[in-house]
């Protein structure tokens, strides 16, 4: 198999692929933002020009997710990992308990941080089986202040295909599948997502919060950690990551131009179906996640003969395929097929898998 040096198929898990038009527009703005003669990197965050960027980005999030007036949209520093502590800091008193699902490393880390602020009830876990499935039968205590889930497992390739129903407040880490599929986002009381998968570059975190759940705890909250302060200041309590927010805006515009979440979901389903079909039909490759829980964003698989992995990686490299080596904790392969990944790139990967099988038959 051969590939031109100009063709690269980026399957990295994050920071990840973004639409080509977004890169082009962002690079132009670094040199000259909106014909101002200034770079976007040197614009003051309280100037009318950047205020318009922030307001449009927040507005597009509300539009694309069909959010109601109770839900506020924030762009914050710190990435999703900061939310592991900021969520319980705002929602959990020391005497209270929260319910957490342990379905991946990120959920496990969120549990660890929440324990600093209150009691944590781990209502289900797939840790003992290397996070290869999503638990189905579990109960959420009625007195839990909220239920926390991680909707997509970047490292192990599982995804909540059905969001659990409960009477508690619902909190979700959607870092790796935000804007990838349709659902009723208003049933979530708090959503957070690092931008660097489906939305923009590393350096900014999207938080969507139902303002009616805030202000219920007795513990003092540091100024910068209180969601209410960020709401009151329109995500500009302090200097926001200006460039990262701008690239998010460009990506949100692209998403709307593509037909919104519904249109992108259709493409994501087609890409996932193509790749999983190739894995299931293969004599050499095996999927690692339970079939009913397979992620549409991160496809994880291994080889029956692990000694052949290096050879396949070399073939993939020659085809212009990058970023498919599995996470260090799992090995094997991981193909991240986020919103901006064209199905043509997935086809290149499938062709490489089939070529490798053909060339290595006894």
Kindly name the residue from 102, 104, 173, 293 that is annotated as catalytic: 173
Q: Given strand 97-102, what is the order of strands in its sheet? A: 71-76, 205-210, 190-194, 169-173, 146-150, 97-102, 119-125
Phi-psi region for residue 336, left (φ > 0), alpha (ψ -120 to 50) or beta?
beta
Which residues partner with 205 through β-bridges? 76, 194
Contact between 137 and 112 under an 8 Å Cβ cutoff? The reply is no
Q: Report the alpha-carbon distance of residue 232 to residue 68 in Å, rounded.
A: 18
- Cα 359 to Cα 345: distance, rounded to the nearest angstrom: 21
Token representation of residue 277:
């079909």
Please say if 197 is a catalytic residue.
yes
Of 79, 136, 148, 158, nearest to 112 (Cα)?
Answer: 148
Query: How far, in Å, CA of 10 to CA of 320, rounded?
Result: 8
Could you tell me which of 197, 247, 156, 179 has the C-alpha nearest to residue 16?
197
Q: d(Cα 308, Cα 303) in Å, to the nearest integer?
A: 7
CA–CA distance from 11 to each of 126, 195, 208, 262, 272 (Å)? Answer: 26, 16, 27, 22, 13
Reference 239, options 62, 54, 29; nearest CA is: 54
The residue with tokens 């590939």 is: 3
Closest CA to 87 of 112, 62, 110: 110
Q: Active site residue: 104, 177, 189, 197, which one?
A: 197
Q: Taking the mean position of all CA atoms in its chain, how far away is CA 291? A: 20
Query: Cβ of 308: how many Cβ atoms within 10 Å?
Result: 14
Q: Single out the catalytic residue among 102, 104, 106, 293.
A: 106
Residues annotated as catalytic are: 106, 173, 197
């Amino acid at each position: 198999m051969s590939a031109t040096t100009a063709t690269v198929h980026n399957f990295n898990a994050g920071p990840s692929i973004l639409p080509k038009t977004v890169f082009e527009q962002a690079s132009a703005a670094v040199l000259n933002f909106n014909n101002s003669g200034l770079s976007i990197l040197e614009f003051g965050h309280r100037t009318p020009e950047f205020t318009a960027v922030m307001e449009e980005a927040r507005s597009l999030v509300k539009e694309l997710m069909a959010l109601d007036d109770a839900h506020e949209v924030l762009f914050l520093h710190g990435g999703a990992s900061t939310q592991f502590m900021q969520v319980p800091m705002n929602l959990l008193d020391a005497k209270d308990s929260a319910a957490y699902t342990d379905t991946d490393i990120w959920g496990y880390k969120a549990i660890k941080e929440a324990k600093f602020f209150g009691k944590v009830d781990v209502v289900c876990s797939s840790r003992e089986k290397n996070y290869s499935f999503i638990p189905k039968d579990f109960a959420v205590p009625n007195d839990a202040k909220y239920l926390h889930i991680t909707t997509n497992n970047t490292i192990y390739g599982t995804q909540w295909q059905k969001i659990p129903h409960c009477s508690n407040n619902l909190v979700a880490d959607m870092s790796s599948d935000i804007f990838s599929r349709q659902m009723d986002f208003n049933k979530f009381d708090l959503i957070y997502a690092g931008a660097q998968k489906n939305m923009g570059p590393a350096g900014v975190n999207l938080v969507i919060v139902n303002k009616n759940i805030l202000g219920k705890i007795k513990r003092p909250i540091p100024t910068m950690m209180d969601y209410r302060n960020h709401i009151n200041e329109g995500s500009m309590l302090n200097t926001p990551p200006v460039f990262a927010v701008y690239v998010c805006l460009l990506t949100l515009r692209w998403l709307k131009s593509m037909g919104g979440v519904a249109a992108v979901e259709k493409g994501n389903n087609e890409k996932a179906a193509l790749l999983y079909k190739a894995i299931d039909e293969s004599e050499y490759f095996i999927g690692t996640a339970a079939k009913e829980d397979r992620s549409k964003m991160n496809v994880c698989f291994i080889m029956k003969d692990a000694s052949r992995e290096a050879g396949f990686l070399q073939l993939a490299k020659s085809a212009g395929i990058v970023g498919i080596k599995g996470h260090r904790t799992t090995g094997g392969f991981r193909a991240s097929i986020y919103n901006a990944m064209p199905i043509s790139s997935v086809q290149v990967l499938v062709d490489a898998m089939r070529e490798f099988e053909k060339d290595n038959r006894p």
